[in-house]
Chains A and B, each alone.
Chain A
Amino acid sequence: MNARVASGAVALAVLIGLPAVLSSYQLSLLTKMLIFGIFAMSLDLLLGYAGLPSLGHAAYFGVAAYTVGLLALRVANNFWIDFPAGLLMAAAVSALFGLFALRTRGSYFLMITLALGQVLWGIAFGWRSLTGGDDGLPSVPRPRLPLPWALTEGVPFYYFVLICFALATGLLALVVSSPFGQALIGIRESERRMEVLGYDVWRYKYVAFVLAGLFAGLAGNLFVYFNGFVSPSYLNIVFSASALLMVILGGAGTLVGPAIGAAVIVGLENLISAYMERWVLVLGVIYVLVTLFAPSGLVGLVRQRLGRSRA
């Protein structure tokens, strides 16, 4: 445990120092990595710990994004209202969807989360007067906080995202190492057994589902401020699927793994595409290689290697 805290502190120190050496473009990529890192970790709580493969995780990300975007544009650009409202809506929608989704298991769970997510996408696409339809909501302003630095600048915004990322990572780490988190792992391994032991399995899964939605909402909030617009693509199946890929690539059930997976995918997408047109193909090959040779993800691979060298 101490080793983990130490490596976390080192990682944080590096992340704090990086803006000094990065260009503005690289910093914007790093900011995007952190946001997707939160998104991927929130999904890991479901997939990696509770064993619930959600294919509609973009729903909570998108709902939060639309909430913040709409409030900032139509009501008031007030951080203290918009930001909590985004989180609240994400949690509320996941609390609602959880009621339906958690009645099912396995591939049915996959299908119902997908379907519920697509319903939201359909609403965002079709309800033009509210959501701007397929054009989305452009020109969402960044919040003004009582700080000496304006968040419209790249570096202060990066630190703002970094604080959120560190908080989210810390909270999620607490959750998964708590008795609650351990119970989730138990449920993932054998639901029947946990039931027999007297755990209210449904309630555990439901709380995990809402928590995951809440943290996905946090990522959605940040992403609107980052990009300055909301579009129905935030609610799209493609978004949900890429989050799943980040989790699997980094290593499901490792918490930091998915954040690393997110960084790798965001990085590759933008690095390879500068050099070759068919970069999607390269990403595809990487996915195949990881699933073949590192089925427990990048973090799993590293841990396996470390374990072997110690032995």
Chain B
Amino acid sequence: MRHRSLRWTALALALSFVGFGVESQEREPVRIGIIYTNTGPLAQLGIDMRDGALLFWSQAGQRAGGRRVEILTESTGSNKPDEGLTKARKLVERDRAHILGGIIETPVAYALRPYVIEKKTPLMIMNAGADGLTQRQRSDYVFRCSFSNSQASHPLGEWAYKQGYRRLVLVASDFAAGHEHIGGVARTFVAAGGQVVQELYPPLGVPDFVPYLTQIRRDADAVAVAIFGSDAMRFVAQYAEVGLKGKIPLIGKGGLTDESFLDKLGDPALGIIVAYHWTAALDLPANRRVREAFESRHRRPMNAPAEQGYVGSQMIARALDAVRGDIENLDGFLAAMRKVEVDAPRGSVKLDAFHNPIQAVYLERTERRNGVLQNVPIATYPSVGQFWTWSPEEYMAMPSYVDLKGKWTR
């Protein structure tokens, strides 16, 4: 008996030495705090984004640049910037996170911006799309891997004009992001020579779209839409119910036919055309690989927020590789972030001088393939930046889309 206990003690001692040895060689891990939304109407987006990020890090073996990476996740309610800021404080000051990431909603991103600048903590926004964050309010510490709201809108407006559409109706949820998403479409459509004949702005989370749908002018050539999440599900179904489907083509911003609920939309979704930076149906090796991994791990369809969580993590990892994991060399890391270029599921992505991604925009048509609804890419605009064909100075001198709301019909 005594022998055995002696043996155990020896083993424990030996193991502790092994542990000690490893630890002394290994630097402390790089800690990345992910802030995501997990209650309220935007909860699903948040959870998808988080899972995309976690998928990347588990595939990377929780390592980058030869150093261990520790992921800390913190959740908030939908659109609670104050809660987001408290969580950021916790991650940075208590958990000593080196990098922050995530952020579904723009107000949270705006609330965090002064804080991460003060704390010199790099922030990788994986969703929140407000144009200003990577334009007039650009910061050395704030990066974005997702999109600016109007980025994919510009090609959509031009494309719509090329289809022969001349008279466009705009429908967008009545909040800043909605105005930016739809404003981008209107600007390039009008610049090409088209005319906006009507603008409708239903409130966010409106229970019934019929009062708005019945107002839509029947002499329009197309209806362009920027409506997302559970609102999008209702909108697409009711567009068909009131008999507009098949009469006036429905085009819009990706997310209207998000993969997470595309299957539930059914026939009413067929033929909708959206502009987006990604689709599950994208035939790229990286996309197939990541999608299969995500879907076998979570048993649910992968969608764009999940891809964004993945790509944001990918960018952080590449930048860490470039500085050999030396996150303490903050200037080196920030410089590496600016130069980062990744082979993402959506295709090749790099950041512009304002830290917003330059990437392909796909026009996608909802079709049924092998009995499953898919957003099938039908056209590609390669290397689209947030300023489209304008220079950054020209672009930022123009009035913002939020101020142009309600003025497109003039």
Q: In chain A, what residue has the closest Cβ to B36?
A: A277
A residues less than 8 Å from B92 (CB atoms): 25
- The distance in angstroms between the C-alpha atoms of A4 and B332, with both chains bound, is 57
Query: 8 Å CB contacts to B: which residues of A127-183?
Result: 128-129, 133-136, 138-139
**Chain A CB within 10 Å, residue with most, of B110, B402, B403:** B110
Q: In chain A, what residue has the closest Cβ to B105?
A: A134
Q: In the complex, are the beta carbons of B90 and A270 less than 8 A apart?
A: yes
Interface status of A23 (Cβ within 8 A of chain B): yes
Q: In the complex, are the beta carbons of B111 and A28 less than 8 A apart?
A: no
Interface status of A234 (Cβ within 8 A of chain B): yes
B residues less than 8 Å from A25 (CB atoms): 89-90, 92-94
Tell me the minimal C-beta distance from B6 to chain A in angstroms.
38
Which one of B74-82, B287-295, B391-399 is at the A interface? B74-82
- The distance in angstroms between the C-alpha atoms of A295 and B187, with both chains bound, is 59
- With A133-B175, A135-B130, A138-B111 as given contacts, are A28 and B93 in contact (CB-CB < 8 Å)? yes
Q: In chain B, what residue has the closest Cβ to A138?
A: B110
Q: B interface, by DSSP: helix, strand, loop or mixed?
A: helix
Please tell me which one of the listed residues A227, A270, A277 contacts residue B111 in the complex, with CB atoms under 8 A apart. A227
A residues less than 8 Å from B403 (CB atoms): 129
A residues less than 8 Å from B82 (CB atoms): 223, 227, 231, 233-234
Q: In chain A, what residue has the closest Cβ to B106?
A: A135
Interface status of A273 (Cβ within 8 A of chain B): yes
Q: In chain B, what residue has the closest Cβ to A279?
A: B75
The proximity string for A residues 5-33 relative to B, scoring 1 for CB distances below 8 Å and 0 otherwise, is 00000000000000000011110110010
Interface status of B207 (Cβ within 8 A of chain A): no
**How many B residues touch the partner, as a band?**
20 to 34
Q: In the complex, are the beta carbons of A134 and B107 less than 8 A apart?
A: yes
Query: 8 Å CB contacts to B: which residues of A229-248?
Result: 229, 231, 233-234, 238
B residues less than 8 Å from A28 (CB atoms): 86, 89, 93
Q: In the complex, are the beta carbons of A136 and B81 less than 8 A apart?
A: yes
B residues less than 8 Å from A233 (CB atoms): 79-82, 107
Q: In the complex, are the beta carbons of A229 and B402 less than 8 A apart?
A: no
Interface status of A1 (Cβ within 8 A of chain B): no
Q: In the complex, are the beta carbons of B39 and A139 less than 8 A apart?
A: no
Q: In chain B, what residue has the closest Cβ to A28?
A: B89
The proximity string for B residues 68-108 relative to A, scoring 1 for CB distances below 8 Å and 0 otherwise, is 00000111010111110111011011100000000000110
- With A134-B176, A231-B82, A270-B86 as given contacts, are A139 and B93 in contact (CB-CB < 8 Å)? no
Q: A interface, by DSSP: helix, strand, loop or mixed?
A: helix
- The distance in angstroms between the C-alpha atoms of A23 and B95, with both chains bound, is 11
Q: Interface residue count for A (Cβ, 8 Å)?
A: 31
Interface status of A197 (Cβ within 8 A of chain B): no
Tell me the minimal C-beta distance from A1 to chain B in angstroms.
37
Interface status of B38 (Cβ within 8 A of chain A): yes
Q: In chain B, what residue has the closest Cβ to A154?
A: B93
Interface status of A274 (Cβ within 8 A of chain B): yes
- The distance in angstroms between the C-alpha atoms of A270 and B89, with both chains bound, is 11
Interface status of B114 (Cβ within 8 A of chain A): yes
B residues less than 8 Å from A269 (CB atoms): 83, 86
A residues less than 8 Å from B346 (CB atoms): none
The proximity string for B residues 207-230 relative to A, scoring 1 for CB distances below 8 Å and 0 otherwise, is 000000000000000000000000
Q: In chain B, what residue has the closest Cβ to A24?
A: B93
Q: In the complex, are the beta carbons of A136 and B107 less than 8 A apart?
A: yes
A residues less than 8 Å from B17 (CB atoms): none
Q: In chain A, what residue has the closest Cβ to B76?
A: A273
Interface status of B8 (Cβ within 8 A of chain A): no
- The distance in angstroms between the C-alpha atoms of A223 and B83, with both chains bound, is 12
Q: In chain A, what residue has the closest Cβ to B174?
A: A126
Q: In the complex, are the beta carbons of B86 and A229 less than 8 A apart?
A: no
- With A134-B175, A233-B79 as given contacts, are A32 and B86 in contact (CB-CB < 8 Å)? yes
Q: In the complex, are the beta carbons of B110 and A133 less than 8 A apart?
A: no
A residues less than 8 Å from B113 (CB atoms): 138-139
Q: In the complex, are the beta carbons of A26 and B81 less than 8 A apart?
A: no
* A29-B86, A134-B175, A229-B110 known, 20 other contacts, Cβ within 8 Å: A25-B90, A25-B94, A26-B94, A128-B176, A133-B402, A135-B176, A136-B107, A138-B111, A139-B114, A227-B85, A227-B111, A231-B111, A233-B79, A233-B80, A233-B107, A270-B86, A270-B90, A273-B75, A273-B87, A277-B73
CB pairs A–B below 8 angstroms (17 shown): A23-B93, A24-B93, A28-B89, A29-B86, A125-B175, A129-B403, A134-B79, A134-B175, A136-B110, A138-B114, A231-B111, A233-B82, A273-B74, A273-B87, A274-B90, A277-B38, A279-B75
* Contact surface of B with A, Cβ cutoff 8 Å: 38-39, 73-75, 77, 79-83, 85-87, 89-90, 92-94, 106-107, 110-111, 113-115, 130, 132, 175-176, 402-403
